Chains A and B, each alone.
Chain A
Amino acid sequence: MLQLYLPIAEMSVNALVMLAMGAAVGVLAGMFGVGGGFLVTPLLMFSGIPPAVAVATGANQIVALSFTGAFAQWRRNNVDMRMGVVLLLGGAVGSTAGVLLVRWLRNQGQIDTFVSLAYVFFLGTIGLLMLAESARAMHRTRAGKPPITRTPGQHHWVHGLPFKMRFPRSKLYISAIPPLLIGMVAGILAAMMGTGGGFLLVPAMIYLLRMPTSVVIGTSQLQIIFVAAIATLLHAVFNQTVDIMLAVLLMIGGVVGVQIGVRAGQKLRGEQLRLLLALLVLAVCLRLLLQLMIKPQELYDLVPPAGIL
């Protein structure tokens, strides 16, 4: 059934399965504004693609998906360019640091565990926070009270930091330090986990920076384009692990999925969307946690020798 040999992964895959996988990731990307990398990388590894190729090729797919998404959001004026640039500066530093960290951890043989632990920690924290928040918001709507929007003059520790900048599109006047740091952490995670960092960026922008939700998705997608592009290029140059054939399959499935996701997202309310994302994030977190805790059937693992990757 439509078997296709992948020249870089050096294995044969079912083209239809890869298209479907790309589409599933695209639906998520369109719906939540996350890149979907936290899903595509584990899915690819699960289908037998070597982890290094999965990470690099996943990044390549995310470039296409976030470009489609950001373009659509930009046309609706839902992108805060200024915030995007600040996040990106942090992201560039972070992804370079991340690539170096990956190299070191891989040589120690701990990369898989570290990645899983990092996922568990971040996904768990974010998932629980979002779950609590969206449940509260839904409860409030059901009780007939108006949803809490930003109260003017409300202060947060984030607002007390120096180097204040004005972000007109987000109606914010805040220090540049938090977006820089958020961008940097997202960049580190992007390089290490093969994600664009969207699952971290979106909640961080909503809850820490208090950006309007309408602007958050487009802005995070803008940042993800560049972070994923940097990661793709670095992986191609240093590891030679980007498989363009596989990436094209994932992208074609993905861009179709994005359109479905965007339409589905428009039908759901903000807090429902956040509840769904929270549940998804927690499910992935739980699965990874169990994988770490339960005694594996196979205690041994084969990896390419240290220093090659």
Chain B
Amino acid sequence: MRAAALCFMALLSAWSLEARGQPSEDLQADVSAREIAIESNFTGHHVVVFGAVENYPRYASPARSYDVIVVIRGPADSFTAWRKRKTAGIWLNRDARDFRDVPGFYATLSTRPVEQIAPRAILEQHRIGFANVNFGPPPRGVPASRDAAFRGALVRLLAEENLYQSKLYGVTFVGGGLFRASIDLPANVPIGQFRADVYLFKESNLIASAESRFSIGKAGFERFMTRLATEDPVVYGLAALLVAFGIGLAAALMARE
């Protein structure tokens, strides 16, 4: 009964849009790579997020009314942030704040600054923008102002390593409802699953969203080494020593001649 009612309403709304000659827009999006392999020549990776607005009106001047925000999130990571204070003449780490399971990589790309695209409530709801990343609740006994300083420091330090990026005009419409956004993942990018969320806005209203995933992993020799180091650390450690003795001995013997 309820399903029938919903179905009827959906039909009705579709009909009403059709009646106005304006089919509802939808969004298709994808990323240029599914699996990014890290090998010895890895210096980062260039990823393109692209997509199309379906039912894009041909006659309107759409560039002004449509906006796209792309949010790329990397695998969760944990950090402890320390703040130094001068103590007995030297600068010591005194105050700490733990950040558990925050995105190890976070980037927003948009057609305009995100604050101009959508109201704050929407940005908060979808965790768009550095200010809205889920950093977890402040630890007990830490006043909000100090916690804000720690969050700011975390974002600043990660942004310095290009692990947090914000590209205000990073999404461009290339015509006919097609858009693209490109981003450089740095060489120190965390390893694991990435997720790209694409949000389509029309006159500040979120009208569609799409999600794609990709992963970054070590391949070949790099994967072998990491596996050995984590799964057989004793063998790895002994191998490191063997290499050291080998190179040391070879050099000593060569120097003699």
Contacts and interface: CB of A to CB of B under 8 A. Distances in A.
Given A300-B150, A302-B157, A60 B244 contact: yes
Contacts of B90: 113, 117, 292-293
B157 A298 contact: yes
Nearest to A71: B252
Contacts of A175: none
A68 B252 contact: yes
A299 interface: yes
B187 A64 contact: no
B251 A247 contact: no
Given A5-B41, A5-B43, A259-B251, A232 B82 contact: no
A300 B218 contact: no
Interface string B179-192: 00000000110110
A63 B244 contact: yes
B140 interface: no
Contacts of A7: 218, 221-223, 225-226, 229
A243 to B, nearest CB: 8
Contacts of A296: 84, 91
Interface stretch (A8-16, A121-129, A159-167): A8-16
A3 B78 CA distance: 28
A279 B233 CA distance: 40
Contacts, number: 186
Given A4-B40, A5-B43, A248-B243, A302 B248 contact: no
B98 interface: yes
A240 B229 contact: yes
Contacts of A10: 188, 190-191
B207 interface: no
Nearest to A72: B252
Nearest to A237: B233
Interface in A266-309: 292-296, 298-306, 308
Given A229-B241, A255-B251, A296-B91, A236 B229 contact: yes
Contacts of A232: 237, 240-241, 244
Contacts of B229: 7-8, 236, 240, 242
B255 A68 contact: yes
Given A63-B244, A247-B240, A258-B251, A237 B80 contact: no
Interface string B215-244: 000100111011001100110111111011
Interface in B100-143: 100
A11 B241 contact: no
A259 B154 CA distance: 45
Contacts of B245: 63-64, 67
Contact of B153 (A65, A236, A300): A300
Nearest to A2: B41
B34 interface: no
Interface string A227-241: 001001101111010
Contacts of B43: 3, 5, 12
A206 interface: no
Given A5-B187, A12-B44, A240 B243 contact: no
A147 interface: no
Interface of A: 3-5, 7-8, 10-12, 60-61, 63-68, 71-72, 75, 109-110, 112-113, 117, 229, 232-233, 235-238, 240, 242, 244-245, 247-248, 251-252, 255-256, 258-259, 262, 292-296, 298-306, 308
17 contacts: A4-B40, A5-B222, A8-B226, A64-B245, A67-B248, A68-B248, A109-B96, A232-B241, A236-B233, A240-B230, A244-B236, A258-B251, A262-B255, A300-B82, A300-B156, A305-B79, A305-B98
